[in-house]
Amino acid sequence: MKYISTRGNIAPIGFKEAVMMGLATDGGLILPESIPQIAPETLAAWAKLPYRELAFNIISLFATDIPAADLKALIDRSYGTFEHQETTPLVQKDGVYILELFHGPTLAFKDVALQLLGNLFEYLLKERGEKMNILGATSGDTGSAAIAGVRGKENINIFILHPHLKTSPIQALQMTSVLDANVHNIAVEGTFDDCQNIVKTLFNDLEFKKEYALGAVNSINWARVLAQVVYYFYAWGRLPEQGKVVFSVPTGNFGDIFAGYLAKRMGLPVEKLLLATNENNILSRFVQSGDYSLGQVVQTVSPSMDIQLASNLERYLYYLFNESAERVRSAFAELQQTGKIVFSAEEVQRVQSEFLSCTVNEAMTLETIASFNKETGYVLDPHTAVGVRGALECVKGHPAVVCLATAHPAKFGEAVERAIGTPAPLPPQLAALQGKETRCEIMAADKELVKAFVKAKA
């Protein structure tokens, strides 16, 4: 399997190189040259496979340059860290199915991708005899999942910047209580934007980037998308009947739902993908009317979806534009010049043939956590609640609606408490964090300080 760029200006590369490249060198996103097709008999045969076997069957179609035994070992190690023996169990509540993606080390769905990416990086760096310094900024979830993905790994250091005292206390502890020598937390005296700006500036410092082999773990890495394709197949196989299914996906960067789109293109019987957003609803406007115009980011109770520019959308646009890299390039030039992309009526119609969408505001989110809890006893986290509300409103009565549960409710205890009066009970991993020893460097929002710190520790 070879990989290409949505912008059309890289020579085809293998899977291993695609993982190491991250963002394509022409500024585009990496995609497989063709999408493998899974025949209905094969799908049926895969339906009841254990998670790791299914993951191997799917990932090996794309990672053709990694020997089977090595890939198996990488997958086993990645999902051996999940608390639940099913990895991503499917439960039924109140007429909808909930796919629990939060049983990994940091209790958010990003673990599914980042556990695999961490192991892949270690494997590939060893093979190449190289080292990597991962640098990233986080407002919460991604940072802790990235740290959990690479802690203790050989030839990798990770530097994660978070805004000092501006993440939730649990999220900060999930990062700073990791004491492995290769993990470096930096609490920046400033905002998340300050953190992100510092990281961007250092990545643009090409000399520094090259000398210190800076790497990223953001959601544009192809391996992250690929890891997420697996659980769409898994959920379908766990339904009582293997018919057409609707997936409801709480969406920010479009990574998770794009994995669902790929699963559909591979042959999984997906009727629709329901794209659910909070007030940052550029993507639901896009689905509803083809309006893709950037707005201001507003803060909500589902902070991991507070995003305007969804980086993974470019992957979908490539297919929407019938695999024309030229049209992708002109669309993003248009976005840069005018702050929006204009779509043809035919394109909007095609989007609507694949996706449903809805916007769920803060009041609706809290109300859904409360009513769902009252009816089923189940506690939704605010991100998951956005998707569940969308499912209950837009696809009423459908026999197979699967809502992706992207975080454990205890990670967002404050919002849950506002909704139901009590916080969600802390699972043992989170309870154990209280009073743990921590290590973290507090620093002014100054790129030179961060640069000097990376140089000293790398």
Ligand X SMILES: *Cc1c(COP(=O)(O)O)cnc(C)c1O
Catalytic residues: 110
Give the list of residues 6+ apart from residue 347 with CB closer than 8 angstroms, or none.
290, 320, 321
Joined together, the tokens standing for residue 451 give 């640069």
- Nearer to ligand X among residue 118 and residue 255 (C-beta): 255
- What's the full length of the chain, in residues? 458
- Nearer to ligand X among residue 108 and residue 443 (C-beta): 108
Joined together, the tokens standing for residue 144 give 């802790």
Distance CA 75, CA 52 (A): 7
Alpha helices in 339-440 (DSSP H): 345-354, 362-376, 382-394, 413-420, 428-431
- Nearer to ligand X among residue 139 and residue 157 (C-beta): 139
Rounded to a whole number of angstroms, the minimum distance from the CB of residue 187 to ligand X is 20
Give the list of residues 6+ apart from residue 300 with CB closer than 8 angstroms, or none.
278, 279, 280, 306, 362, 365, 382
Comparing CA positions, the residue from 162, 171, 107 lying closest to residue 138 is: 162
- Nearer to ligand X among residue 6 and residue 157 (C-beta): 6
Task: Give the residues lining the site for ligand X (CB under 6 A).
Answer: 108, 110, 141, 219, 250-256, 304-305, 383, 406-407
Rounded to a whole number of angstroms, the minimum distance from the CB of residue 58 to ligand X is 18
Rounded to a whole number of angstroms, the minimum distance from the CB of residue 328 to ligand X is 20
Alpha helices in 157-245 (DSSP H): 169-176, 192-204, 206-211, 222-238
Rounded to a whole number of angstroms, the minimum distance from the CB of residue 312 to ligand X is 7
Rounded to a whole number of angstroms, the minimum distance from the CB of residue 430 to ligand X is 15
Give the list of residues 6+ apart from residue 21 with CB closer than 8 angstroms, or none.
13, 30
Strands 441-444 and 183-189 come out as parallel
- Nearer to ligand X among residue 254 and residue 316 (C-beta): 254
- Nearer to ligand X among residue 16 and residue 383 (C-beta): 383
Rounded to a whole number of angstroms, the minimum distance from the CB of residue 163 to ligand X is 17
Rounded to a whole number of angstroms, the minimum distance from the CB of residue 140 to ligand X is 8
Rounded to a whole number of angstroms, the minimum distance from the CB of residue 373 to ligand X is 18
Alpha helices in 93-242 (DSSP H): 110-128, 141-150, 169-176, 192-204, 206-211, 222-238
- Nearer to ligand X among residue 63 and residue 310 (C-beta): 310
Distance CA 135, CA 160 (A): 6
Q: In Å, what is the CA distance from 67 to each residue of 13, 18, 73? A: 17, 16, 10
Please provide residue 96's backbone torsions phi and psi, each rounded to the nearest 5 degrees.
-120, 160
Joined together, the tokens standing for residue 249 give 């996906």
Find the distance separating the first CA and the last CA of the chain, reported in whole Å: 34
- Nearer to ligand X among residue 78 and residue 253 (C-beta): 253
315 SS3 class: helix
Name the helix (H) or strand (E) containing 270: strand 270-277
Lookup result for tokens 């998707």? 387
